[in-house]
Amino acid sequence: MRVGLGYGLGIVAGFGFYGFVLGYGLAPFGAAVPGTVYFLSGIWKKRKSLVERLN
């Protein structure tokens, strides 16, 4: 995510160094948004753990 956003904002969008810095700062949202949606949906409560599957 960091490399993709850095490249996209720095080179493709033409922001240069500031685009790389912005991409590095925005990269955690690439995992936080889907993680929040997964948590709020409650799907994780219905899944069995690895220990339960092995027994």
pLDDT, tens only, 15-44: 999 999 999 999 999 889 999 999 999 988
Quick one: pLDDT at residue 36? Answer: 95
- Is 31 in contact with 1 (CB distance < 8 Å)? yes
For residues 32 and 39, the answer to whether their CB atoms sit within 8 Å is no
The model's pTM: 0.61
CA-to-CA separations, 4 to 10, 19, 20, 23, 24, in angstroms, rounded: 10, 11, 10, 8, 9
